[in-house]
């Protein structure tokens, strides 16, 4: 028998059971996987302390990509040569009225560029630029708008029809008319309630946003999730708000991004994982909280993951999430009430961390940030790799034959704390236990029939997966360590 605390799958494959509505010890006929493989990477020169805060794969011309490189401006990259990300052009901040490039969205041949550093408290101004990228290697500035009235920068933006919606951190939400890109016009500004769940000026900050019909869903950091009525863009109104009060009291809930599927909002809650909120109830309720890491006030700094940007893939059945030092996680959300991790790329607790992510067809582009000055407990992590990585992904199911039901196999207790017992009536060819990141916690071969006891003091809390081969048959089971 051998025990390995951190041996990882070689290319970031995480095989996770598809749970549905089954019980904790039921066997499964299939294992769904997302396989992520790195196809190209580009590290910025380390001494420049250069980071990518957001990235976009060109939807019109897949040979190109864009990166919001803050005070280093807008980067344009050629992906046409297999295995390479080649810098084509850096548009300096002088092209954007001296404002940092912070976030991006593409609509057709237009690239909408948020300008103003959202990581600092005060900028000279905040605004939006629009580029014509019909020729990506020769972009043309079509229009630009900024205002010194707003100084908190742009964390996220979304364009729908003729309007651009900008999340401008503590300044709230900014709406601009972009029907004529050459003449961007101010429409309105709205600041959500900063007294909920408790009064604050700096912790309530507009971040990720999504729009469905006349409702705008806004991740408002320590202010939770907000819903705005934008049927009249000149007079937006707040019509709903939610925060996980238990989480907020134990760790401080920080809502970074949101996506909407069916009647559910799925939110990234920084180092506290992923929360599913039922929008059909009044008031809104927490339907599921994915937090196997046990976040608390004490472990924000140095946490293995900080979930941030969310993007759908594969007809909204998958959710791709930038995850800080865990780099990227992929959840199966075919049932949005029970997201399941089905893929992962990266090594937790190394010196590489993501901030942004983009997905187009079978490609994932990751933004890496360079934060070389880590001062616990004031900064979240240390990362010395600024740049981009391009991944290819594929989904599939691996056929797994269920164990003959006549074979007596028991795993108890479940949930467990420090010890777990596996009892079986037939010889086990192989036994493997994995955590959610695909790290092998235990591997054992040729176990004779009987009861086997394993001490689990060093195993992480949360959901774990057991794979057992008996004869030519394999079974997979989920266990939970408390």
Which of 197, 215, 216, 199 minimizes the C-alpha distance to 207? 216
Where among 332, 367, 398 does a domain terminate?
Answer: 398
Rounded to whole angstroms, the Cα distance separating 302 from 349 reads 8
- Percentage of the chain surpassing pLDDT 70? 89
| Bridge partners, residue 209, by sequence | 218
Rounded to whole angstroms, the Cα distance separating 314 from 108 reads 20
Residues 418, 270 share a domain: no
Q: Which residues contact 225 (CB under 8 A, 6 or more apart)?
A: 217, 218, 219, 241, 242, 243, 255, 258, 265, 267, 277, 284
CA 17 to chain centre: 20
| Bridge partners, residue 370, by sequence | 384
Residues 293, 190 share a domain: yes
Torsions phi, psi of 139, nearest 5? -70, 150
Provide block-wise average pLDDT over 10 residues at a time, the chain (482 residues): 31 33 33 79 92 97 98 98 97 98 98 96 95 97 98 98 97 98 98 94 93 98 98 98 93 95 97 95 92 82 90 94 92 87 80 96 96 84 94 66 60 86 89 77 91 90 79 74 76
* pLDDT recorded at residue 16: 34
* pLDDT recorded at residue 375: 83
Domain count, the chain: 2
Residues 391, 414 share a domain: no
Residues 406, 393 share a domain: no
* CATH (domain of 175): 2.130.10.10
Apex 95 CA angle, 93 and 99, nearest 5: 40
Using the Cα atoms of residue 475, residue 341, residue 359 and residue 164 in order, give the sign of their dihedral: positive
Q: Where are the alpha helices (DSSP H) in 321-429?
A: none
Question: How far does the chain reach from its first CA to its final CA, in angstroms?
Answer: 24
* pLDDT recorded at residue 2: 31
The answer to whether position 238 is within a domain reads yes
Residues 420, 298 share a domain: no
Residues 408, 281 share a domain: no
The answer to whether position 471 is within a domain reads yes
Q: How crowded is the C-beta side of 324, counted as CA atoms within 13 Å?
A: 22
Q: How distant, in Å, are the alpha carbons of 430, 431, 478 from that of 426?
A: 12, 13, 20
Which of 214, 213, 215, 166 minimizes the C-alpha distance to 188? 166
Rounded to whole angstroms, the Cα distance separating 206 from 478 reads 37
Residues 463, 357 share a domain: no
The answer to whether position 321 is within a domain reads yes
Where among 343, 363, 398 does a domain terminate?
Answer: 398
Residues 425, 338 share a domain: no
* pLDDT recorded at residue 26: 35
The answer to whether position 18 is within a domain reads no
pTM here is 0.81
Where among 398, 431, 465 does a domain terminate?
Answer: 398
pLDDT tens for 64-115 read 999 999 999 999 999 999 999 999 999 999 999 999 999 999 999 999 999 9
The answer to whether position 156 is within a domain reads yes
pLDDT tens for 23-57 read 333 333 333 578 888 999 999 998 889 999 999 99
Residues 314, 457 share a domain: no
Residues 463, 385 share a domain: no
Residues 408, 310 share a domain: no
* CATH (domain of 450): 2.60.40.3080
Q: What range does the domain containing 266 cover? A: 35-398
* pLDDT recorded at residue 275: 96
Neighbours of 261 (CB within 10 A): 18
Dmax of the chain from CA atoms? 76
């Amino acid at each position: 028998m051998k025990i390995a605390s951190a041996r990882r799958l070689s290319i970031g494959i995480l095989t996770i059971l598809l749970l549905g509505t089954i019980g904790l010890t039921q066997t499964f006929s299939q294992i769904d996987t997302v396989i992520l493989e790195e196809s190209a990477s580009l590290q910025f020169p380390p001494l420049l302390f250069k980071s990518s805060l957001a990235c976009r794969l060109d939807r019109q011309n897949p040979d190109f990509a864009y990166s919001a490189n803050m005070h280093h401006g807008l980067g344009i990259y050629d992906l046409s040569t297999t295995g390479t990300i080649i810098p084509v052009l850096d548009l300096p901040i002088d092209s954007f009225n001296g404002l940092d490039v912070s976030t991006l969205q593409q609509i057709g041949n237009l690239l909408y560029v948020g300008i103003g550093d959202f990581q600092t408290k005060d900028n000279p101004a905040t605004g939006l630029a629009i580029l014509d990228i019909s020729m990506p290697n020769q972009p043309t500035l079509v229009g630009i708008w900024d205002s010194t009235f707003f100084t908190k920068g742009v964390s996220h933006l979304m364009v729908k029809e003729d309007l651009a919606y900008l999340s401008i951190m503590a300044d709230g939400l900014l709406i601009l008319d972009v029907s004529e890109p050459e003449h961007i016009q101010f429409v309105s500004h709205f600041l959500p309630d900063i007294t909920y769940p408790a009064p604050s000026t700096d912790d309530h900050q507009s971040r990720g946003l999504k729009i469905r019909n006349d409702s705008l869903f806004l991740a408002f950091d320590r202010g939770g999730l907000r819903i705005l009525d934008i049927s009249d863009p000149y007079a937006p109104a707040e019509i709903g708000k939610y925060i996980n009060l238990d989480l907020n009291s134990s760790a401080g809930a920080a809502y970074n991004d949101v996506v909407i599927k069916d009647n559910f909002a799925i939110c990234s809650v920084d180092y506290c994982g992923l929360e599913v909120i039922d929008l059909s109830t009044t008031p809104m309720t927490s339907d599921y909280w994915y937090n196997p890491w046990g976040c608390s006030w004490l472990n924000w700094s140095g946490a293995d993951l900080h979930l941030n940007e969310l993007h759908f893939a594969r007809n909204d059945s998958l959710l791709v999430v930038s995850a800080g030092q865990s780099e990227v996680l992929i959840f199966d959300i075919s049932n949005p009430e029970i997201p399941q991790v089905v893929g992962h790329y990266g090594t937790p607790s190394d010196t590489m961390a993501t901030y942004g992510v983009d997905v187009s067809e079978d490609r994932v582009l990751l933004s890496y940030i360079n934060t070389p000055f880590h001062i616990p407990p004031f900064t979240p992590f240390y990362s010395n790799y600024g740049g981009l990585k391009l991944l290819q992904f594929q989904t599939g199911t691996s056929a797994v034959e269920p164990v003959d039901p006549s074979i007596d196999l028991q795993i108890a207790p479940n949930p467990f704390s420090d010890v777990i017992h596996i009892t079986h009536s037939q010889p086990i060819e192989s036994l493997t236990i994995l955590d959610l990141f695909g790290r092998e916690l235990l591997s054992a071969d040729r176990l004779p029939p009987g009861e086997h006891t394993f001490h689990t003091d060093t195993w992480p809390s949360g959901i774990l997966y057991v794979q057992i081969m008996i004869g030519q048959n394999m079974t997979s089971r989920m266990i939970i360590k408390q």
